Chain A
Amino acid sequence: MSKAQGNAAIGRTRRRRGERAVRATVGEIFFVFLSIGATSIGGGLVAYLRRGLVGRKRWLSDPEFVRMLSMCQALPGLNGTNMAILMGDKLRGVRGAAAAIVGICLPGALIMMATAVIYAHRGDRAIVTVLLSSVAAAATGITFFVAADLGRKSLSGIGDIVLVTLTVALVNLFHFSVLAALFLAGAIAIWWRRPRPAAARLSAK
């Protein structure tokens, strides 16, 4: 399929879903994601993205944002960077995607590099150790919240709880590698949620 045909096909799909054709320059994409990457302090990157992409820039409608996010959550990679890739590609193809991911990553990467340099010189001081011990405790509370918050939004029924427990047990109790746990629990989970017989026969053809 040629590029023009491909674009026409994408255009048809978008019109069918009622999406608007939005365009932006590569520079604009870079600066929007750079500003999100520089201001999204304290986790909750998704909320910052929604405010920027749906609210301020109007590059996405709310249902489009939710649809993109659910795609990001099923894929490996961080939600923020995955969203940057999808949004950048939608606006400006490969170059848009590259501009978006570099923009969102750059501020944090520079700050964390500086952190490592400072830590190498001052990290063994007593005050640093005591401070970071408290910060680590708060950070632990945050990571448990992220898992629990996602859980209360997307888990339903006893089967899901069993799968969560199985995954945790494989990693923390039986010391499976994360990769092995992902494949084992993932295979069981996907099979358990397999398409119902009518749909399965269709897919087998």
Chain B
Amino acid sequence: MKQLPALVAVFGYLSLLTVGGGMAAFPEMKILTVEVHHWLTFPQLIHFYSVGQLSPGPNMMMVAAIGEWVAGPAGALAVVIAFFLPTALLTFAVGRAWSRLEQWPWRLSVQRGLAPVSIGLLLAGSITMAKGAMHGWLNGGIALVVFALLMTTRTNPALLILCSVAIGVVRYLGR
């Protein structure tokens, strides 16, 4: 329970970094949850993120798992509110003002300027993730095949995750 204020502060801050997508906040999430607060280990964080890919809804809903892990249901509720409320209010306000903002000359500058920056942040988050998830050639191979399939075909990512589960079973039995 005494972790609740820290959880709210950390995830409220992280929510403002999710420009372009949730993965943009991942490097900072790793530093704050693993290195600063020691709420969980890096492999555990990666496990939660990975299970989050199999769960429906916004993929960063895995933050609920971190809240539950640290401080039970109250922690999960606090984290979800802290992570989603600030950006929800901002989007609400900007949405209401958008017809006026569309006339603003800098609006297009902001949108076009932030596009490459947000993609850079998503890439940086992916690289942080890869550092924790790439153990050995098999994992590298799985990641590459998944990437190539998604780039060239319209495969459902959930199907690929299920295939990776199957590979994991074979790997476990073959140890």
Binding site for B on A (CB under 8 A): 10, 13, 37-45, 70-82, 85-86, 89-90, 94, 97, 101, 104-105, 107-109, 111-113, 115-117, 119-120, 123, 126-127, 130-151, 154-155, 159-161, 163-168, 170-172, 177-179, 181-182, 185-186, 189-195, 199-200, 202-203
Contact = CB atoms under 8 A, between A and B. Distances in A.
Contacts of A41: 54-56, 156, 158
Contact of A134 (B65, B96, B99, B164): B164
A192 B84 CA distance: 31
A179 B47 contact: no
B9 interface: no
21 contacts: A42-B54, A75-B19, A78-B18, A81-B87, A82-B88, A94-B92, A113-B73, A115-B55, A120-B69, A130-B172, A131-B168, A134-B138, A145-B157, A146-B21, A150-B119, A155-B115, A165-B120, A179-B28, A182-B117, A185-B120, A199-B105
Given A112-B61, A178-B28, A137 B122 contact: no
A159 B128 CA distance: 24
A119 B121 contact: no
B120 to A, nearest CB: 3
Given A82-B91, A107-B56, A138 B65 contact: no
A76 B110 contact: no
B49 A167 contact: no
Given A78-B18, A150-B20, A179-B28, A141 B87 contact: no
A160 B120 CA distance: 10
A182 B55 contact: no
A136 to B, nearest CB: 4
Contacts, number: 379
Please report whether the interface of chain A is mostly helix, strand, loop or mixed according to DSSP. Answer: helix
A70 B128 CA distance: 26
Given A136-B47, A147-B126, A189 B117 contact: yes
Interface string B69-98: 100010010001000100110111011101
A200 B105 contact: yes
A135 B120 contact: no
A78 B58 contact: yes
Contact of A138 (B20, B28, B55, B163): B163
A86 to B, nearest CB: 5
Given A40-B57, A155-B116, A136 B125 contact: no
Contacts of B172: 126-127, 130-131
Nearest to B46: A136
B33 interface: no
Nearest to B22: A78
A107 B64 CA distance: 11
A128 to B, nearest CB: 8
A166 B65 CA distance: 32
A193 B122 contact: no
Given A74-B111, A164-B120, A195-B106, A145 B142 contact: no
Given A115-B55, A132-B168, A155-B116, A77 B125 contact: no
